[in-house]
Amino acid sequence: EDQVTQSPEALRLQEGESSSLNCSYTVSGLRGLFWYRQDPGKGPEFLFTLYSAGEEKEKERLKATLTKKESFLHITAPKPEDSATYLCVHGGATNKLIFGTGTLLAVQP
Amino acid sequence: DGGITQSPKYLFRKEGQNVTLSCEQNLNHDAMYWYRQDPGQGLRLIYYSQIVNDFQKGDIAEGYSVSREKKESFPLTVTSAQKNPTAFYLCASSGGGGADTQYFGPGTRLTVL
């Protein structure tokens, strides 16, 4: 079964404590791997698209990387405003998006 | 500013009623999508449209209907046949179909009374 699995489900960090979120997928035929940020009660906000293994993209304190079966979202020196749910989404050869259930990140001051 | 708007933000429905959720985009995107989000689950695709006057069922289309009469608009009707409609509904659009980056609206929270 095609699946996108995100871990951990929840992560609590102290301000300034760097960490990584993981996204693994069993879906074949990657056309794009997407990361979104979602705040409570709001729609997902687009962060990155990665297209091939080895690709990296950065935005402020966030860096996304991609291997053949995994993607990581690295958060460097996070701030409380980085608290949100981060969603990983696989776009495959069938033109269908498969969404992970997200990692809920809480950054404490 | 270009973007996607959804209205209303909150919607309450009585048993047996049909309700329509609005989605408008001014991004000049061809493709539009409706998703449902429930706690602890990934987003699930209800319907999508890649071009005006054409749309396809997603994974959970039963109890829902859509129309695409204009490029900018993709309303979703939740009918009385949808047995568990309480959820957060998200509209998205993309420049093309498939794995193109999708941009989301702010969402509508529907509650059945």
> Does the beta-carbon distance from A41 to B107 stay under 8 Å?
yes
Beta strands per DSSP E along chain A: 4-7, 10-14, 19-25, 30-38, 45-50, 56-59, 62-66, 70-75, 84-92, 97-99, 103-108
Collapse the DSSP code of A82 into the 3-class scheme (helix H, G, I; strand E, B; otherwise coil) and give the result.
Answer: helix
The string of pLDDT tens digits covering residues B55-71 is: 999 999 999 999 999 99
Closest CA–CA distance from residue B43 to any residue of chain A (Å): 6
Q: Which residues of B72-94 are buried (b: 16+ CB within 10 A; e: fewer)?
A: bebbbebeeebeebebbbbbbbb
The string of pLDDT tens digits covering residues A4-52 is: 999 999 999 999 999 999 999 987 788 899 999 999 999 999 999 999 9
The pair of structure tokens assigned to A38 is: 């979602």
> Does the beta-carbon distance from A43 to B104 stay under 8 Å?
yes
> Does the beta-carbon distance from A44 to B106 stay under 8 Å?
no
Q: Quick check: A99 contacting B, CB < 8 Å?
A: yes
Among the partner-chain residues A46, A92, A95, the one whose CB lies closest to the CB of B103 is A46
pLDDT greater than 70 at residue A75:
yes
B111 closest CA partner among B84, B92, B75: B84
A65 closest CA partner among A78, A75, A54, A76: A54
How far, in Å, CA of A33 to CA of A64, rounded?
10
CB count within 10 Å of CB A60 equals 10
pLDDT confidence of residue A18 = 98
Q: Quick check: B101 contacting A, CB < 8 Å?
A: yes
pLDDT greater than 80 at residue B76:
yes
Closest CA–CA distance from residue A14 to any residue of chain B (Å): 25
